[in-house]
Amino acid sequence: MFKIRKENKNDYNEVYNVIKKAFETAEHSDGNEQDLVVKLRKSEAFIPELSLVAVEENKIVGYILFTKIKIKDNIELALAPLAVLPEYQRKGIGKKLIETGHNIAKNLWYHYSIVLGSENYYSKMGYIPAIQYGIKAPFQVPDENFMAIKLNDTNIEIKGTVEYAKEFEI
């Protein structure tokens, strides 16, 4: 059985390898996700409480990171990346990482999380096309792959184009 906990500095090398292995066979990947995480950890967008690992028998088998983004004057979150070792996929680890991250983000009073990914996977977690909230991608992407979830029951409506941290190089 796996557990979710906050990442610490001793995890960095193992997390790097987990991300690299998880994205080796990914349908959509630039192959640099692990290097992006290294850059994001040093950025103003990094939120240590939202850098989580899944551990099974003292081995890191999954990782998730939520970082700050800007939509107009609002600071919200981007989920990127979510990585689970191939041999541990389809066991609920990714789902549990997302749920745990969402709960922490709610407690930190973030309103929305956006993700660029599979509409088949992330829709199961409650993500819908971001355009339905008035949130737009800063690049060309099918609406069904640029998604958002409202984290807190709030009347705050955030409409605009996402500004990613400069480390994303978008």
How is residue 125 annotated by DSSP? G
Determine the pLDDT at residue 170. 85
Strand extents, DSSP E, 14-145 = 46-56, 59-71, 74-84, 112-116, 128-129, 135-136
CATH architecture of 3-168: 3-Layer(aba) Sandwich (3.40)
Determine the pLDDT at residue 158. 87
β-strand pairing of 112-116 with 146-150: antiparallel
Structure token digits, residue 64:
């998730």
- Cα 25 to the center of its chain, rounded Å: 18
Structure token digits, residue 94:
């990714």
Reported as half-sphere exposure (CB side, CA atoms, 13 A), residue 111 has a value of 16
Residues 124 and 96: beta-carbon distance below 8 Å: no
Cα 126 from Cα 54, distance rounded (Å): 21
Dmax over Cα atoms in the chain, in whole Å?
Answer: 43
> How would you write the pLDDT of the chain (170 residues) with one tens digit per residue?
899 999 999 999 999 999 999 999 777 777 799 999 999 999 999 999 999 999 999 999 999 999 999 999 999 999 999 999 999 999 999 999 999 999 999 999 999 999 999 999 999 999 999 999 999 999 999 999 999 999 988 777 789 999 999 999 98
Question: What is the pTM (predicted TM-score) of this model?
Answer: 0.96
Cα 96 from Cα 50, distance rounded (Å): 13
- Cα 131 to the center of its chain, rounded Å: 18
What is the residue whose two structure tokens read 């989920």?
Answer: 79
- Cα 152 to the center of its chain, rounded Å: 17
Where do the structural domains in the chain lie, given as residue ranges? 3-168
Determine the pLDDT at residue 154. 76
Determine the pLDDT at residue 26. 74
